[in-house]
């Protein structure tokens, strides 16, 4: 078999693409914009094509390929929604063939090389998966408005809620406090850092900028929250504690086998892991495989089972 597979890890912030040959050797990689097929299907398609074209351009230095030579295996945020699945099926793509699954599914496949495991993915969004005998069950990941309680977007929103509550209590002055308690002082510092760094110095400015913002915009606040937590700011720590409690409760409730490996992946995994490990005895692991490798495995299985359809 000579198929080339372009494996996509499409999230709310960016789209990673890697072209693999059928044996699983990575040939080229590239990154483009967001690729959530539910929140913005048109943008997701654009990002997939953009990243794939960048990969093709790398391959063309050695041979001659175009998108029609590729099998697209897309693991994208929002893929579990029926509307997204229908839109993808109807999409007149430039690829030879296309398959779609969730970004969570490909992360679970890649984490343990297709073997049984449980997993939490922590990035712009957040969700959980249990992979058993090739079947992936997904939990959480209901989107920014309804869930994703451990996501970067949710943490950013919680930080802004703290700022809004503080402005309501103080009349908008981020430096005034008649209370010398550590929590009040930490709150003042937290609000000052968030509002100064992101240039929102009043309730009105916060609402104007974020009321209609995409999840990725909220997630931009998250690195500062972790930086403040690392400085022992009690407000930042409390927000991370909320998220960690949610993560650990979900992981413990879904693992039926104590020996089953449990992986923490995603753009925020390295930020979360020290806090999670300090609060739990769960054997929390990281994976050396990129999520795109899971998309390759997903396509590989499909191609092996129905190769005649692509012949």
Domain containing 106 — which CATH number?
Answer: 3.30.420.40
Q: How many domains does the chain have?
A: 2
The per-residue pLDDT for range 281-306, each reduced to its tens digit, is 888 999 989 999 999 999 998 887 76
Q: Where are the beta strands (DSSP E) in the chain?
A: 4-10, 15-21, 26-32, 70-76, 97-102, 117-122, 126-132, 135-140, 262-265, 284-285
- The answer to whether residues 277 and 299 belong to one domain is no
Q: Note down the domain range covering 304.
A: 4-113+289-310
Judge whether 15 lies within some domain.
yes
Judge whether 121 lies within some domain.
no
- The answer to whether residues 156 and 281 belong to one domain is yes
For range 133-146, the mean pLDDT: 86
- The answer to whether residues 59 and 178 belong to one domain is no
Q: What is the pLDDT of residue 173?
A: 63
- The answer to whether residues 191 and 271 belong to one domain is yes
- The answer to whether residues 275 and 179 belong to one domain is yes
pTM: 0.79
Judge whether 129 lies within some domain.
no
- The answer to whether residues 109 and 217 belong to one domain is no
Counting Cβ atoms within 10 Å, is residue 154 exposed (0-12), middle (13-18) or buried (19+)? buried
Listed residue (253, 43, 226) closest to 150, CA to CA: 226
| Percent of the chain surpassing pLDDT 90 | 71
The per-residue pLDDT for range 230-285, each reduced to its tens digit, is 999 999 999 999 999 999 999 988 877 777 889 999 889 999 999 999 999 888 99
Judge whether 134 lies within some domain.
no
- The answer to whether residues 272 and 298 belong to one domain is no
């Amino acid at each position: 078999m000579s198929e080339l597979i372009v494996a996509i890890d499409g999230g709310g912030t960016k789209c990673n693409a890697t072209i693999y040959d059928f044996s699983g050797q990575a040939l080229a990689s590239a990154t483009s914009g967001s690729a959530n097929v539910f929140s913005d299907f048109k943008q997701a398609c654009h990002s997939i094509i953009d990243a794939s074209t960048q990969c093709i351009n790398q391959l063309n230095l050695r041979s001659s390929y175009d998108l029609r030579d590729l099998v697209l295996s897309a693991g994208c945020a929002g893929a579990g929604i029926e509307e997204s699945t229908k839109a993808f099926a109807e999409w007149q793509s430039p690829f030879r063939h296309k398959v779609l699954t969730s970004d969570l599914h490909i992360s679970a496949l890649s984490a343990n090389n297709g073997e049984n495991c449980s997993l939490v993915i922590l990035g712009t969004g957040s969700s959980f998966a249990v992979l058993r005998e090739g079947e992936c069950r997904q939990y959480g990941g209901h989107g920014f408005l309804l869930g994703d309680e451990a996501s970067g977007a949710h943490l950013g929103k919680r930080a802004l809620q703290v700022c809004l509550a503080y402005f309501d209590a103080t009349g908008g002055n981020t430096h005034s406090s008649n209370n010398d308690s550590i929590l009040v002082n930490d709150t003042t510092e937290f609000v000052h850092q968030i509002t100064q760094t992101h240039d929102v110095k009043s309730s009105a400015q916060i609402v104007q900028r974020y009321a209609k913002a995409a999840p990725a915009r909220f997630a931009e606040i998250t690195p500062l929250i972790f930086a403040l937590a690392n400085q022992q700011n009690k407000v930042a720590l409390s927000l991370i504690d909320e998220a960690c409690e949610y993560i650990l409760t979900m992981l413990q409730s879904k693992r039926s086998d104590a020996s089953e490996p449990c992986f923490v992946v995603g753009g925020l995994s390295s930020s979360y892991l020290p806090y999670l490990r300090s609060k739990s005895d769960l054997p929390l692991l990281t994976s050396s495989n990129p999520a795109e490798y899971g998309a390759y495995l997903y396509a590989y299985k499909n191609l092996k089972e129905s190769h005649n359809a692509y012949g």
